[in-house]
Amino acid sequence: MIDLLAAGAAGAIRWSELGLRPGFEIFGFTLRYYSLAYLAGILLAYWHLGRMIQAPGSPMAQRHLDDLFFWCTLGVILGGRLGYAAFYQPGLFTGWTSSEFVAWDLLRLWDGGMSFHGGVIGVTAAIAFVALRAGISFLRVCDFIAVNVGFGMLFGRLANFINGELYGRPGDVPWAMIFPADPLGLARHPSQLYQAVLEGALVVAVMLPLFWFTRARWRPGLLVGTFTMVISLGRFIAEFFREPDAHLADFARESGLNMGQWLTIPLILGGLALVIWALRRPELNSMKHTAPA
């Protein structure tokens, strides 16, 4: 089978011929698109959330948004990196690259390796901290934050493609690609692009109209439940095309699903349960649930 796929790779798109680079030099420092993707997603989310809290029914004011911007940024970076190390590559905790200025592998975020599930945990903890300290509704803040997550996911997955990492399983589709990092040199699904669509663009396409053109914001839990269900389903589907991490390949073969899929199943069920719960409750009174300035 591998020989057959290798033979078919002759007509595949070669990633190396696309002219993509993981970053660019500026003042003698390499600025990587992976880092810029996170920055762009966070800044766009901050700008859009600023527009959202001006709409009727916002559970927070500008000062809460500023706190959330700091703590959620910290939460997504720490949670995403620690989650990746814990769920996918524990060796990062003890790995060192002595030849580099930042030697501890856990801190080398620009090398890639962020967990969606770890990021969710980190952001949830950050929201809980800010909501508790400010005395505002945790669930309604989650609703507003959830609308904006798709931006960062879209940019992050595109950055994975630009890095030529996290490529897909072997495939014979016309757009199959050969990635330089693949030791087998097989034609593979560009699963990073699938994820950019399913975990990023689709989430944005669902969540923005749901917030701006429906009364979903008046039903606590509906927005975050919908987000959780949509992005988790997208992740579950995309994982069928993504090559499992090398050290988890045996686990995927033995269990029938990738680690990412197993971690996503509870999120799908939890999101569905939250949507049902939100729809069964009456809408909030639009005159009584706006945060103080």
Segment 123-136 mean pLDDT: 94
d(CA 24, CA 18): 16
Instruction: Give the per-residue pLDDT at 229.
Output: 97
Give 7's pLDDT tier (boundaries 50, 70, 90). very low
Mean pLDDT across the chain, nearest whole number?
86
CA distance 83 to 79: 6
Is residue 23 situated within a structural domain?
Answer: no
Predicted confidence (pLDDT) per residue in 130-146, tens digit: 999 999 999 999 999 99
Does 21 reside within a domain? no
Q: 8 pLDDT exceeds 90?
A: no
**Does 291 map to a domain?**
no
Higher pLDDT, 199 or 29: 199
- Residue 43: give the domain boundaries: 30-280
* pLDDT at 4 (0 to 100): 43
Give the three-state DSSP class for 13.
strand
Structure tokens at 162: 């630009």
pLDDT band at 87 (very low <50, low <70, confident <90, very high): confident
pLDDT at residue 59 in the model: 93
Instruction: Look at residue 29 and tell me whether its pLDDT is greater than 70.
Output: no
CA atoms 84, 88, 93, 94: torsion sign: negative
* pLDDT exceeds cutoff 80 at 161: yes
Around Cβ 199, how many Cβ atoms within 10 Å?
Answer: 25
CA–CA dist 151, 145 (Å, integer): 11
Query: Does pLDDT of 2 surpass 60?
Result: no
pLDDT, position 91: 76
The answer to whether residue 122 is domain-embedded is: yes
> What percentage of the chain's residues is helix, strand, coil (to nearest 5)?
65, 5, 30
163 within domain boundaries: yes
The SS3 of residue 188 is strand
Over 60: is that where the pLDDT of 286 sits? no
Say if residue 50's pLDDT is above 80: yes
**How confident is the model at residue 1, as a pLDDT?**
44
204-252 pLDDT, tens digit per residue, is 999 999 999 999 999 999 999 999 999 999 999 999 999 887 666 777 7
Of 95-109, 170-184, 251-265, the one with minimum mean pLDDT is 95-109
Specify the pTM. 0.83
Judge whether 293 lies within some domain: no
**What pLDDT score was predicted for residue 15?**
94
Domain count, the chain: 1
User: Is the pLDDT score of 116 beyond 80?
Assistant: no
Q: Is residue 14 part of a domain?
A: no
Judge whether 46 lies within some domain: yes
**Would you state the pLDDT for residue 32?**
76
**Which percentage of the chain shows pLDDT scores above 90?**
57
The two tokens of residue 95 are: 């790995």
Of 46-50, 86-90, 173-177, give the lowest mean pLDDT range.
86-90
In the chain, % of residues over pLDDT 70: 88
Question: Which residues on neighbouring strands pair with residue 188, listed in sequence order?
Answer: 170, 177
Q: What is the pLDDT of residue 102?
A: 66
